[in-house]
Amino acid sequence: MPSLIDLRRRVRSIRNTQQITKAMKMVSAARLRRAQDRVINSRPYSRMFASILANVAAAVANDEVAAAHPLLAVREEKRIQLILVTADRGLAGAYNSNLIRAAEQFAADHASQQVEFELVGRKGRDYFGRRNTKISGELVGVSQTASLTEAQALVGKLMQRFTDTEIDSVYILYNEFKSVLTQRVTLKQILPLSVASGDGQAARDYIYEQPPAQLLGSLLPRYVLLQVLEAFLENTAAEHAARMTAMDAATSNASDVMNKLTLYINRVRQASITREIIEVVSGAAAQG
């Protein structure tokens, strides 16, 4: 049986841990709100962009020049690029390990092709950096900022490689922010682009200042960028949400353990008091 002093020490240590997890939870909650705002703020642009793109795509639907745009080129998938977006920090529950597992699954599914990893975020880099995976590049420290310029640099490189036919397709794997309690691992194909041209709803008859094919040419790279940026933003929001949930669970776990231990301590204390009384009483009885 552990001594009373040891037990008290344990309770104290658990209380310290609980204070830390509580603080982390609050920090994550604040960051989550900021990340969510950014996701929401970026939506009007994406929405308007999608409507313009659909219209332009519909206008050039029968245009061979436009269809031959290098970002639309569908080739046989021999070399696949996977962008894996993870967090830079841990302590976020199963957040990172779910992503990493999905990435491994993806690599296993495409074992006959060559899969190259583009690792965004420290956790993914640390994991795959130690293994025998082909890594084309890494980007660390994005999850804090998830800014446009960082996405731009990454996307620029990928599009270059794609048009140079170094890679045949690009996928991105990230956690989608469903709600504070759920994140969903999402795999999205980024290149070659598939443009849905105004499904059902008739395209507006625009006056085009520039020929539609040229407009499409300038819209497409931006579309790729937007998708990656969206993944970054969603991922950041999901990360903070996951950490908040994990830390909340940790805090209440600590409470549970502390309650149990306190109960046990009291029992031990009482048992020793009872024993002492018995000793005194039986000693007195023996004398009498």
Partner 1 sequence: MAGTILLEVATPERLMLKEAVIEVEVPGADGELGILPEHAPLLSELGAGLLRYTVQGQNPRCVCVSGGWVEVGPDSVRVLASTAELADAIDVKRAQDALQRANQRLVNPTGDVDIARALNSLKRAQARIEASKFLTGK
Q: What does the binding site for partner 1 look like in residue numbers (CB under 8 A)?
A: 38, 41-42, 44-45, 48-49, 51-52, 55-56, 148, 204-210, 212, 215, 218-219, 226, 229
Tokens found for residue 2: 């552990």
In the complex, the smallest distance separating the C-beta of residue 41 from partner 1, rounded to whole angstroms, is: 4
Dihedral, CA atoms, 133, 138, 141, 147, nearest 10 degrees? Answer: -130
Nearer to partner 1, 13 or 51 (CB): 51
Q: Which of 246, 271, 227, 194 has the alpha carbon at shortest distance from 87?
A: 246
Nearer to partner 1, 67 or 219 (CB): 219
Nearer to partner 1, 55 or 169 (CB): 55
Tokens found for residue 131: 């293994």
User: Can you tell me the distance from the alpha carbon of 171 to that of 186, in angstroms, rounded to the nearest whole number?
Assistant: 10
Nearer to partner 1, 189 or 208 (CB): 208
User: Can you tell me the distance from the alpha carbon of 264 to that of 281, in angstroms, rounded to the nearest whole number?
Assistant: 26
119 by DSSP, 3-state: which?
strand
In the complex, the smallest distance separating the C-beta of residue 90 from partner 1, rounded to whole angstroms, is: 29
Nearer to partner 1, 22 or 157 (CB): 157
Nearer to partner 1, 85 or 100 (CB): 85
CB-CB contact of 225 with 206 (8 Å):
no
In the complex, the smallest distance separating the C-beta of residue 49 from partner 1, rounded to whole angstroms, is: 6
In the complex, the smallest distance separating the C-beta of residue 176 from partner 1, rounded to whole angstroms, is: 19
In the complex, the smallest distance separating the C-beta of residue 30 from partner 1, rounded to whole angstroms, is: 19
The residues, ordered by sequence, that sit 6+ positions from 239 with a Cβ below 8 Å of its Cβ are 35, 87, 92, 95, 143, 175
Dihedral, CA atoms, 209, 212, 215, 220, nearest 10 degrees? Answer: 160
Nearer to partner 1, 169 or 236 (CB): 236
In the complex, the smallest distance separating the C-beta of residue 14 from partner 1, rounded to whole angstroms, is: 43
Count the Cβ atoms, other than its own, within 10 Å of residue 261.
16
User: Can you tell me the distance from the alpha carbon of 245 to that of 243, in angstroms, rounded to the nearest whole number?
Assistant: 5
User: Can you tell me the distance from the alpha carbon of 138 to that of 120, in angstroms, rounded to the nearest whole number?
Assistant: 6
In the complex, the smallest distance separating the C-beta of residue 31 from partner 1, rounded to whole angstroms, is: 17
